[in-house]
Chains A and B, each alone.
Chain A
Amino acid sequence: MQQIVDGITAGSIYGALALALVLVYRSTGLVNFAQGQMAVVSVYIGWSLVEIGLPVPLAVVLTLVASLVIGALTERLLIRRFEGQEPLVAIVATVAVLICFNGLINLIWGGSVRAFPSLFPDDVVSFLGARATWGDVGTVAVLVGTVALLQLFFLRTRLGLALRTAADNPSSARLLGLPVGSLLLVGWGLAALLGGLAGCLVAPSVPLQPNMMDTILVYALAAAVLGGLDSPLGAVVAAWLIGIVETVAGANINIIGSDLRIAVPLVLLALILLVRPQGLFGRRDVERL
């Protein structure tokens, strides 16, 4: 049971970043390999804010705002150029952004490890025979809340519909009078905000360093794809699944040590995709020739 709880906690972190990936994919049709690194930038900004004396909750809020801006600017200045081209070039562009952000972090803050304070009290809570910190509970709660908000946003609001329209068919969207460029900007901004949120949630429990999100990104990618790449709910469910399987397998199967743990979700992904190529919650793409 403890393992399941741990798995859900770990999965929630992957899920938060996976949500960001899904959001970018839904609004621009790209997979943003730089999502993790952008989240790390946000976390460092948060760290700096705390260092200069701001209370943690305020720092986190400001960090989220900063993430929004960074995401929007990245889309407008760096990614916009590549949106019409083949997906391969756009993906490589996101890798270039990843490298630049990594370099930027090293330049501004240096590569030494730091500590990020937690939003939640440190006490441990017990239930159902398992133990978890308030931080873990908070993480899961925030994630669930975020997914609910996102679903509501996309399915019930006009901006959500506008984003979906622009993502589905940008030229049709323009013919309907939608400012597609601005919508893409918003999509990336929101995704970066989610990434920043993921960063703030994971930062207290992981050493703060420029590469902290690298493995999490791989898990998040797997979760997003497993969930169907355009389903926020799917991404989160998949992330929890991955977290649980990884934790349980890592604890119980001896040959899987800490280095092979990453292989577990990927195997899971492979198996599920073989049976259901569109992912757990994805929709089959019907193409009319």
Chain B
Amino acid sequence: MTTTERTPAVPAALSARSRPLRWVAYVLVAVVVLAIPQFASPYTNLQLTLILVYGVAILGLDVLVGRAGQVSLGQSAFVGLGAYAAAYAFGHGWGPVAALALAVALAGVVAVLVAIPAVRLRGFAFGIITLALPAFAVPLANRLVDLTGGSQGVAVVATTPPEWTGQADDQWRLYLVGVVAAIVFWLVHNLLDGRLGRALAAIRVNEAMAAANGVAVHRNKVLAFTVAGLCGGVAGWLYLIAVQFVSPAILQLNLAVSLLVALVVGGTRSLLGALLGAAFFVLVPNVTDNISPGRSYLIFGICLLVVLFFFPGGLAGALRRLLAWARRRIGR
């Protein structure tokens, strides 16, 4: 016997009235969002940029983890790969588009090569294998000193704001990252809206059942892994744009685990969740550091537990419930 929870239906009259209202809201939000970098400090702009960067990485991870249901501990390797590729490109005088192409291509190729054998494994076995990616990547980055600058890392000047825009470095980067991130989000959203999304959902719920129903499980899992890797690559390029520096630290397992945690905190299977998770990941450690530098890690852990305890479905889920509650009250 199955029952599904029904969310209360919005009364018809209200929804008809709210349509133009919603568009007004969207425009307002867009205006505010575009205006913020003009007034905010460089530090704030950097934080916002980083949120977008990690948001893209988490979005990619969500495709594999949230939608296809495969636990992955390797996302940081793709982000790092993208960042290093971009650094190499910029360092050799390539333009930003070419650098992005390199980052994405490399990340995609590695993702496919790893995915094809790896997706035959189930559950935790797959997860531990993905762990190998950062485990390999960090020493590799340390050793290929010519390509990567070793443990010191590499600093590049990735982009400078064109004269006619009159923007400062931090503002320009925020806009650039914002536009690219928005495009990636839109692409992934469309990708998931179609067959891939449905196939992944079937796989997540029950692989054997999905296979019995004709879903090409293996191929779709490879696809999901590749999308995750590609997003990671883009995030790496975005990271370099934002920070203009890359070192082996970005490849580490710590980051991969943090991205996974951020995904759950923000809310799986949700575009907004990816951004909220990224925001949590970028902002909360600063806050806890300000509260008490010695106890920062502990407080962060407690915050995590609080979110996990009280907000199943993550921050995005909580927001959705809040909005539904608000809508019900307005509807009365």
Contact = CB atoms under 8 A, between A and B. Distances in A.
Interface of A: 25, 31, 33, 78, 81-82, 85-89, 91-93, 95-104, 106-107, 218, 221-222, 225, 229, 257, 259-260, 262-263, 266-267, 269-270, 273-274, 277, 279, 285, 287, 289
A31 B127 CA distance: 11
A255 to B, nearest CB: 9
B135 A81 contact: no
B203 interface: no
A93 B305 contact: yes
Contacts of A98: 301
Given A103-B301, A266-B128, 16 more contacts: A31-B127, A92-B260, A92-B261, A95-B304, A96-B301, A99-B297, A99-B300, A99-B301, A103-B295, A103-B298, A218-B131, A266-B136, A270-B117, A270-B118, A274-B120, A289-B209
A277 B122 contact: yes
Contacts of B268: 88
- Contact residues on B (Cβ < 8 Å of other chain), bracket: 35 or more
A270 B74 CA distance: 14
A225 B302 contact: no
Interface of B: 65-66, 69, 71, 117-118, 120-125, 127-129, 131-132, 135-136, 138-139, 142, 208-209, 212, 253, 257, 260-261, 264-265, 268, 294-302, 304-305, 308-309, 312
Contacts, number: 123
Contacts of A279: 125
A206 to B, nearest CB: 19
Contact of A259 (B142, B257, B294, B304): B142
A80 to B, nearest CB: 11
Contacts of B124: 25, 31, 225, 229
Contacts of A277: 120-122, 125
B305 A273 contact: no
A53 B311 CA distance: 46
A103 B132 contact: no
A266 B129 contact: yes
Contacts of A81: 308-309
